[in-house]
Every structure is written in structure tokens, then in C-alpha cells.
Structure 1
């Protein structure tokens, strides 16, 4: 992978090896066992070169430029990429986001894979920015969840960050989350919490609660991070009053942009929104060859 792309990915908090794997898988899906773009091979001379612009077709927030660049680089290291915007920036319809020069076959072969990733990531960033804007002026931050597209988690969670949100856990391995089924299987909330602490003393633990009593039981057991599931704003205010500063509080379940300020006003620290990654529409971006 081009050294400049590696630097850009690393600076974004993305593992270049993982991005390269994702890109390879996406290209394999598009090119098949023959590794050919039959249309471009048939219609374009091997020695033809061109320049293309990546252009926003809608207003939004950009995320994934270095990932898109990695696609072109993997198709042909002879392509040259130049950013015209930055991840996290608001862009407008008609803005040129990047320029790529190289073998025409390579540009058109990489086009759809690069755009699939860039449009998806920018769509997540755009949706996340709407939540961040709705929570502006409060202490509440929007969080993502594990409801991500299989195989694209690191990219979608990066896009959340680019949009002004915060990542929660990356997977089942880095944060223990005690949900209702865990409580039931372990014989109760306190028993489940103690088992996790004994088995994995260095792993952060969050406890899902649905009542004020469960919230109090959790903090008395030692929990410092509570997930308040499907609570009304009135009930959340009761939990905030009962818990005080003994734990961070996250609200989730049935949240919309319209009610986000009301939930933030309860004093919770976070709102977690699965829709950031499972329901964000893409940001329309196109690749246009220059005449």
C-alpha cells in the first residue's frame, strides 16, 4: 500500500492491514475469480490514462477518503490520489472531494468498490452529525453500537467518529455488557456482575437496567457504567437522581432526533443509537472522468 495512504489511515485510527483486507474482499466480490473488469478491458486501451474527480451529489459529511484511495491503489499502484477535502468536513452538492489519476482501466475498475465504501462511510458520518448537532449545548454524547454491517465495523465506527460521535465497544471482547439474559442465566444482577469482575478484572463492565431499583443495585455492586434501556425521560431523571455521580449513564431504545434534546436534558451522559450504523442512507458521491 502507498506510504501516504498508510499514514492517512493510521492518522485516522484505522489499521492499514485491516483496511487492506476489507478492500481486497470487496474487490474479490466485484472482480470474481477472473480478476477482470471485462467491460473496461474490452473498451479501453491498456496504455490509456485519465484523471477523474470524485464529486458530491448531495450535501453531507465526508468520511473514508483514505479508504477509497486504498481501493484505487490496490487495483493499480500507478494511480495517484489527491484529497480536495477532509474527513469530517461538511460538503455540498457539486464539491470535488478528491482527484485520482492513472490507467483508465484501473480508474473504472476501482470506481464502484471505492464509491461503495466512501458513500457508506459518509452516510454514517452525515447521520451521526445530525445527532451531534441535536445534542449540542448539552453534556450528552451520541454513541454507536455493535449493530454494524458485517465486515465493515472498523470503517463504520470510524465514520461515527468523523461525524462527531463516540465509539462504544468494538466487540464482545473489550467491554462486558451484562444484559437481562445474563442476569437470568447467572441468578441475578449482582451475581452476574461479580462473576464478570472475578473472571475479567481488567475489562470494563456495563450493566443494563430497566428500573431505578436495578440502577441502585448495580452501583452498590460496584458498577460504574449503566445502560438505561427503554426508559422514559421521567424515569431517567429518577435514575440520575438516585445514582448521582456514582456511575455514567447511557440511554438507549426507541430514540429519535426529535426527542434527543429531551433525553439529554435528563442529565444522562450518552445516547446510544444503533441506527447510526444499521439505518444510515448513503451520501451520494460519483466519479467523473474529465473530458
Structure 2
């Protein structure tokens, strides 16, 4: 996924895009021998992701540049905090500055948004535990409405394939820095059957259950099969076909809870569609195993970082 080779190739391409024939501004304003130090400073709170990518943007241009990371990926930071220090020739620091910031600001934005979703979900379990503690203290039965998922200890927040072309390794890594989980990396990783696939198979005379069995016969025994449903009455057929994961697409909260009951632990339950910070806790409380959120990568706002010389 996000290997050093992938990072370096991306950094080289970005530097080539930004300065294909050199940086004429620094070449005409900064003496070649001048050196200096810059600090990566956050202008707002966030979660770090891509500190290694930040460093590689500089060292790809000049291996002699020294980068000292002061915050690790996955750590939270405050506004005004120094996140890293960079030392070397001023021309190289200024030339690589924007490339380094572009990668890191976006990755931090994804990690920060992911952490916000994870925090909302985690809060329902803390609230549930507090309710249970109070109930036990008062010798009463707890009435907490939160249902624990069958597959995992807590409902997982996951990304989707709605990523920026060419930047998927960076964006999916950033999701994990924020405490989220990765969905399938690409089309080669797992089977995911949606309505258009089912329509094509239906034209060949296969219903949903038959379609899933048809797929199962043609893939390796370790291949995971996920099926998207948009109605409750499709769930029995998905179960009969042997789906490993059933995605409840754009279900209401009431229907999501009914879907969890119908599946009853016989498949992983994923909820997707219209996931916002305001809604995600209520969806998690229905007991789904996974909530996939496309906004983590397709609608994220970059964190404001600056490089102060």
C-alpha cells in the first residue's frame, strides 16, 4: 500500500509537475549557498498523517536535507504546535515547500475527519457504560439503547473507493491514522455485488441467491463476497446465497435495526449512504458492524499547516 517506493514516486512526480525546469523564483532571489531551518506549524487542531511523506518531499529533492518529526502519525495536535523541523539549503526548502504541504495537509484533513467519526461512535459505548454503571449502582436494569455489533467489539468506520486518482494509498493510509479501517483497496481485492451487477446476472436468469452462488463457484475460497441491498426483502436471498457481508444502502434507522436482526450474525453488516457526523452515532447504535463513509476522502477539507522559515 503506502510503501516508501510509492511515496518517493509520488513525490518525484509532484516535484516534476511543480518545477519541471527548476524554480526560477528561488534561483533569482536566494543565494545558492544560503542555508536555513523551517518549522512545520499547525494553524488549527487536527490529527497527524503523512509526516514521512512530508519528509520525503524534501529529501527527494535533496538527500542532505534534515527533517526532524516532532509528532507521529495518528497523534493529535493543537493550533500553533510545531510538528516538524526542516534544515538545509534555502533554495531546496522553498522549492519543495508546497509539494510537502499539499500532501500533508490533505492527509491530516482525512485523518482528522476520520477521527471525528470514530469519536462519535466511541462516545455511544462510553455513554452506554456510564448508563450501565448508574443502573447497577441504583440496582436497576439498564435501558441503554446501544446494541453491540456481532463481529467486532465496536462498530468500525471505514473508507470507500471514492478517492483521488493516483492518491489512494495516501488517502487510505490517512484513514487508518484517524482510527478508521480500510474497505477493499480496489476492484481486485474482493467481490462487491451492486444493483447493476445483479441486473446483468438477472438477464442471464439468476436471482440474487443464484447470482451469489454463481460468483462463489468462480472465485478462490479465500475471496470475500459483499452484496449491496437497498430493501429489507432482499436480505433473505443474500443470506441464502452465502454473502460474507451485506451492505444496507441508504436504509432508515428503523430499517437498519431490522436488517441487523434479520441477518442475526450470519454475515457482516455494513451500513452505507448519507453518513454524516450528526447521524453516524445513531446508525452505530443499531448494531451494524461497519459504517462506510465516502466523505472521508471525497469531501474532506485540508488542515491548515504552514512552513515558517
Q: Does 1:198 align with 2:217?
A: yes
Match of 1:92 among 50, 75, 78: 78
The Cα of 1:125 is off from its aligned counterpart by: 0.4
- Which of residues 20, 43, 51 is equivalent to 2:37? 51
For residues 37-71 of structure 1, give each alpha carbon's deviation from its aligned partner in whole angstroms, at most 9, with x where no partner exists: 11011111111111110000111111100001000
Following TM superposition, the consecutive aligned residue runs of length 4 or more in structure 1 with deviations greater than 4 angstroms are none
Q: Which residue of 2 aligns with 1:175?
A: 190
Question: How far, CA to CA, are the matches of 2:213 and 2:19 in structure 1?
Answer: 51
**Quick one: distance in 1 between partners of 2:238 and 2:19?**
52
1:158 and 2:173 aligned: yes
> Are 2:199 and 1:184 equivalent residues in the alignment?
yes
Q: Tell me by how many angstroms 1:14 deviates.
A: 2.4
Q: How many residues align?
A: 275
* In the alignment, structure 1 residue 141 sits paired with structure 2 residue 156: yes
Question: How many angstroms does 1:19 deviate by?
Answer: 1.2
Shift of 1:127: 0.4
Q: 2:52 corresponds to which residue?
A: 66
Number of the residue aligned with 1:19:
7
Give the structure 1 partner of residue 298 of structure 2: 278
What are the equivalent positions in structure 2 for 1:4-43 lying under 5 Å apart?
Answer: 14-32=2-20, 34=21, 36-43=22-29
- TM-score (normalizing by structure 1): 0.92
Partner of 1:4: none
Counterpart contact for 1:250–1:268, Cα < 8 Å: yes
**Greater radius of gyration (CA):** 2
Contact 1:182–1:192 (CA<8 Å) still a contact in 2?
no
CA contact (8 A) 1:178 1:192 kept: no
The two structures have a TM-score, normalised by structure 2, of: 0.87
Aligned equivalent of 1:262? 282
Deviation of 1:212 (Å): 2.2
Determine the C-alpha separation between the residues in 2 that align with 1:48 and 1:266: 61
Deviation of 1:260 after TM superposition, in Å, equals: 1.1
Quick check: 188-197 or 99-108, which moved more?
188-197
Matched, 1:233 2:221: no
CA apart distance, 1:97: 0.3
**Which residues of structure 2 form unaligned runs of 5+?**
126-147, 149-153
